[in-house]
Amino acid sequence: MRVTVSVAIAGASGYAGGEIARLVLAHPELELGALTAHSNAGESVGAHQPHLAAHPAVAGRRFAPTTAEELAGHDVVVLALPHGASGAVAAELERSSPGCLVVDVGADHRLVDPQAWRDYYGSEHAGTWTYGMPELLHAGETTAARQRAELAGTRRIAVPGCNVTAVTLALQPGIAAGLIEVDDVVAVLAVGYSGAGKAPKTHLLAAEAHGSLVPYGVGGTHRHVPEILQNFGVTGASGTRLSFTPVLVPTSRGILATVTARVKEGVTEADLRAAWDVYERESFVHVLPAGQWPTSAATVGANTVLVQLAHDVRAGRVVVTSALDNLVKGTAGAAVQSLNLALGLPETAGLPITGVAP
């Protein structure tokens, strides 16, 4: 007998919601339940999510309103809502669907420190859920078992920010191995436009974006900063200082992070490569062979992170580059991977790993 897990998506008319739908439709154990929206409630799913057109039974639906009633009765509810909105929905689900697994792909429940939340988001903290990054190394670990243990059996998952995943996975092996200084980390990320969401804004128009390179959130103001510091802290760092700059570049999907930190005295390239071998047992994170560098295209559509590093002896720094698809491993794929763990399914179930490239 096969028991299928029903998954509702709140905020299903946006980019994250549409990508979760794509993954759920291809997942052998999951079944797509309610698709709800706020301002787009009542409108055609296919008109807003044209990539679902080959599923007429889904594309032909209309979005239900995002209410506790519509979301009730599912095994899993994924919240793909603007930040600040998921707390209330989660509270209602607590009452109406107590056993339900709730996965928040928004920011509300990622941070542990309420003050960090207030500093960067300017509102009250909604609380902290189990962090949906299975590969996160806890201090003292040589393999990421502890985060997976936390995810197994949880009923509340906070999916990490896309940039956070790119930076954390790039650098954490060096922190775990004690090979690098964390007091002067610099991360600059080339990022595609889908990460900025689907709400129409002039600076996100195609005419503005094509042929242009656009920095934003410069000078330490980006909301992903405290989350990265938190992750490095989990891995054992203290006193991390991070300069973080994202640059919008003309593509829809993709993050290419360049992350650099000072290498401790006496550490060699071989030491560094050995530390990054921690990923050898991972299904979704791959350090490339020497001489190959990550490209974001190689990860499009896949729950894959590609990593490569170099030791710049003159500069005294390790430079790590990582590539991922912000909507898959950066959002929807991390959600499915984490809910697989929470539900006791194989961690890799339903997750593509081959990039759609070129």
Q: Which amino acid is present at 257?
A: A
CA distance 135 to 143: 8
> Distances in Å between the alpha carbon of 210 and those of 213, 284, 326?
9, 31, 19
Question: Which entry of 105, 157, 162, 189 is annotated as an active-site residue?
Answer: 162
Closest to its own copies by CB, 60 or 114: 60
The backbone region for 83, taken as left when phi is positive above 0, alpha when psi lies in -120 to 50, beta otherwise, is beta
Q: Is 100 a catalytic residue?
A: no
Q: Name the CA radius of gyration of the chain, rounded.
A: 20
User: Is 313 within 8 Å of 112 (Cβ atoms)?
Assistant: no
**Residue (202 or 266) nearer to its own copies, CB:** 202
CA-CA distance, 258 to 262, in Å (whole number)?
Answer: 14
Name the minimum Å distance from CB 244 to its own copies: 8
How would you write 82-110 as a 3-class SS string?
A: CCCCHHHHHHHHHHHCCCCEEEECCCCCC
List the one residue out of 133, 129, 12, 31 whose CA is nearest residue 70: 12
Cβ distance to its own copies smaller for residue 35 or 126? 35
Q: Which residues are catalytic?
A: 162
